[in-house]
């Protein structure tokens, strides 16, 4: 933004300062979460040497519970997307628009925005779940500390449900908190594996 001063545009110093602070937060954010995860692993959960073994029944139970939560989350997002399309008379493909004899260009802007909200939440969940599957699968086979499994693997599934609720209900602050918890879980598993490898 610019303010006009003496007939010339002058950069809005406050706006520039806010942008610099935001950039700094965005850059520091993943490093801060990683440090929190490292500290939790070192001081709360304890790290043993990396030892491959079949997962214990308790670890499998947490992994299965988290997988079920992720499936519930996927089903919720899938269902909400279709209900939103139905509510606003929107379609998923050009063929469906054609079969309904409707034009996407004449569709409700609010409806399109709400379907995009559902799709963005679904996309974000899928992107995070890919990393989770690989990391949690590895963690389950390295005789991990059970409290770490509960916090990181169990926490991820709960965080994703919270994220979906916050995103679909338009609660940005809450969405950011659950996004941070989900990422903290991912960084927790990753840092646990690295620390165990270096032990």
Distance (Å, rounded) from C-alpha 4 to C-alpha 190? 51
pLDDT above 60 (res 64)? yes
**pLDDT of 14:** 80
Asked if residue 58 has pLDDT above 90, the reply is: yes
**The pLDDT value given to residue 51:** 87
pLDDT at 140 over 90: yes
Summarize pLDDT for 17-50 with one digit per residue, the tens. Answer: 888 998 999 999 999 999 999 999 999 998 888 8
Within its chain, how far is the Cα of 190 from the centroid? 15
pLDDT value for 122: 96
pLDDT given at position 199: 83
pLDDT band, very low/low/confident/very high, at 8 (cuts 50, 70, 90): low
pLDDT tens for residues 141-165? Answer: 999 999 999 999 999 999 999 999 9
CB atoms < 10 A from the CB of 45, how many? 20
Distance of alpha carbon 130 from alpha carbon 48, whole angstroms: 26
CATH number at residue 138: 1.20.120.550
Give the largest CA-CA distance in the chain.
74
> What DSSP designation does 107 have?
S
**Mean pLDDT value across residues 64-77:** 97
Determine the structural domain holding residue 33 and report its residue range: 2-198
Number of domains the chain is built from: 1
The confidence score (pLDDT) of residue 2 equals 45
pLDDT at 170 over 70: yes
- Give the model confidence (pLDDT) of 116-136 as tens digits: 999 999 999 999 999 999 999
Q: Is 100 helix (H, G, I), strand (E, B) or coil?
A: coil
What does pLDDT average to over the chain?
A: 92
Instruction: Give CA–CA dist 17/6, Å, rounded.
Output: 22
What pLDDT was estimated at residue 16? 85
């Amino acid at each position: 933004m610019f303010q006009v001063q003496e007939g010339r545009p002058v950069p809005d110093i406050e706006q520039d300062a806010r942008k610099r602070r935001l950039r700094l937060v965005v850059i520091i954010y993943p490093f801060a979460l990683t440090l929190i995860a490292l500290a939790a692993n070192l001081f709360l959960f304890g790290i043993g040497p990396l030892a491959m073994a079949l997962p214990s029944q308790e670890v499998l139970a947490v992994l299965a519970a988290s997988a079920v939560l992720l499936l519930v989350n996927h089903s919720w997002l899938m269902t909400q997307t279709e209900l939103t399309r139905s509510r606003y008379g929107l379609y998923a493909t050009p063929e469906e628009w054609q079969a309904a004899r409707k034009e996407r260009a004449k569709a409700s802007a609010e409806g399109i925005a709400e379907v995009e909200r559902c799709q963005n939440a679904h996309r974000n969940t899928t992107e995070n779940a890919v990393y989770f599957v690989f990391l949690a699968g590895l963690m389950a086979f390295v005789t991990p500390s059970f409290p770490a499994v509960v916090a990181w693997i169990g926490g991820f599934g709960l965080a994703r449900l919270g994220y979906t609720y916050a995103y679909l209900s338009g609660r940005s602050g809450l969405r950011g908190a659950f996004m941070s918890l989900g990422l903290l879980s991912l960084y927790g598993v990753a840092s646990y594996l690295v620390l165990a490898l270096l032990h």
